[in-house]
Amino acid sequence: MTLKSRLLDGGDGLGRVLAVSNFKGGSCKTTTAMCLAQGLSLRGRKVLVVDLDPQASLTELCGLYAEKMLGEDDTVLPHIYSPEEDKLEDVIQQTYWDGIDVIPAHPTLFAAEFYIPAQVSKQENFQFWGILRDGLAPLRCSYDYIILDTAPSLSYLTINGLMAADSMIMPLVPESLDFISSVSFWTLFNDMAGSFKDGGDENKKFDFVSVLLSRVDNSSTSSASVVRTWVQAAYGHWTSAIEVPASSVMSTGAVGLATVFDVSKWDGGNKTLARIREPLEQYCRWVDEFYMEAGV
């Protein structure tokens, strides 16, 4: 039974939108988004990934090469420009992975950061933060999960992604600068969301917020144990008990435009591969069971 049919039995029958976000580059954000999509699809869920980052890294993990195969008309940009005429369903593409579709990104996606504020200055009470939310609404009927990979900044598209999301996942490398950046992220987002009063969005709430420690180095010379205590003190129950350890498997996969779910064998040993894959599988199970148990 898929998530969607289960929801039709006792909920609203709509898929859930998950935003994967972090201020800082190198936080495993894109890799986490793709692994989350793959792990959920292996649990029988139909997943749509939406790349909101002009760097288009998630798009390339999906097997589409932005510079050679795509243009701005293949992204969310047409919908940003003309929400009433251009629907997001028109730019959905299949990926090499069964059960995962994608709305890709392209470097020209950065144009949204100029277009949206221009519209804000022209239109009084323009609810710019709801463009993506409204565009994704019809797609909730077709997918169990919609996963948004946002840019490593609080851009207009990132704000749209966070306001569209039911839940938010923040991968966080347990290093001091990464922790400080994460705190700044929440401060700025809280201030920004508090100003969205016209649409009743000033009290934006998520079904859950999850801080997922990633690329965790547990060696004696690492600062991970110290930073972990900072994270737990700052985020409390938001901090996931599941952690993804540091490994050359992840860096090797990234170079090859692949994730640990794409690799069946690795030269460093299958135990090492399993050590990385298992916590990601556990995390996907946790997300899926959260919505199963919540019945929403």
CATH number of the domain bearing residue 191? 3.40.50.300
Is residue 4 predicted with pLDDT exceeding 60? no
Better pLDDT: 295 or 268: 295
Contacts for 244 with CB less than 8 Å, ≥ 6 apart:
28, 32, 171, 212, 213, 214, 215, 216, 276, 279, 280, 283
Q: How many domains does the chain have?
A: 1
This model's pTM is above 0.85: yes
Better pLDDT: 200 or 236: 236
Is residue 87 predicted with pLDDT exceeding 90? yes
Could you tell me if residue 9 is inside a domain?
no
Average pLDDT of span 135-147: 96
Could you tell me if residue 273 is inside a domain?
yes
Better pLDDT: 195 or 69: 69
Is residue 9 predicted with pLDDT exceeding 50? no
Could you tell me if residue 97 is inside a domain?
yes
Residue 71's alpha-carbon distances to 36, 194, 201, in angstroms, are: 26, 35, 32
pLDDT digit string, tens, across residues 158-184:
999 999 999 999 999 999 999 998 888
Looking at 43-171, list the stretches that DSSP marks H as alpha helix, in order from N- to C-terminal side. Answer: 57-61, 66-69, 77-81, 112-122, 131-136, 156-164
Residue 57 belongs to domain spanning: 15-294
Range name among 21-30, 56-65, 200-209 with the lowest pLDDT average: 200-209
Could you tell me if residue 219 is inside a domain?
yes
Could you tell me if residue 10 is inside a domain?
no
Is residue 157 predicted with pLDDT exceeding 90? yes
Average pLDDT of span 275-290: 94
Q: What is the pLDDT of residue 6?
A: 42
Token pair recorded at residue 127: 């609810």
Q: How far apart are CA 286 and CA 288, in angstroms?
A: 6
Contacts for 85 with CB less than 8 Å, ≥ 6 apart:
none
pLDDT digit string, tens, across residues 191-201:
776 666 555 56
Q: How far apart are CA 192 and CA 175, in angstroms?
A: 26
How far from chain centre, in Å, is Cα 291? 17
Q: What is the pLDDT of residue 69?
A: 87
Closest CA to 253 of 239, 266, 241: 266
Looking at the chain, list the stretches that DSSP marks H as alpha helix, in order from N- to C-terminal side. Answer: 3-10, 29-42, 57-61, 66-69, 77-81, 112-122, 131-136, 156-164, 176-193, 224-235, 248-255, 270-294
Q: What is the pLDDT of residue 5?
A: 44
Give the rounded percent of residues in the chain with a pLDDT score beyond 70: 86
Q: What is the pLDDT of residue 251?
A: 54
Could you tell me if residue 4 is inside a domain?
no
Q: What is the pLDDT of residue 147?
A: 98
Q: What is the pLDDT of residue 8?
A: 38
Banded model confidence at residue 295, pLDDT cuts 50, 70, 90: low
Is residue 259 predicted with pLDDT exceeding 50? yes
Better pLDDT: 91 or 294: 91
Is residue 26 predicted with pLDDT exceeding 50? yes
Q: What is the pLDDT of residue 7?
A: 45
Residues in the chain: 296
Is residue 92 predicted with pLDDT exceeding 70? yes
Average pLDDT of span 29-36: 94
> Are 145 and 14 in contact, with CB atoms under 8 Å apart?
no
Average pLDDT of span 35-53: 97
Could you tell me if residue 3 is inside a domain?
no
Q: How far apart are CA 86 and CA 218, in angstroms?
A: 48
Closest CA to 244 of 155, 169, 132, 158: 169
The neighbouring-strand residues paired with 171 are 212
Could you tell me if residue 7 is inside a domain?
no
Q: How far apart are CA 252 and CA 243, in angstroms?
A: 19
| CB neighbours of residue 264 within 10 Å | 7
Q: What is the pLDDT of residue 202?
A: 60
145 sits in which H/E element: strand 145-149
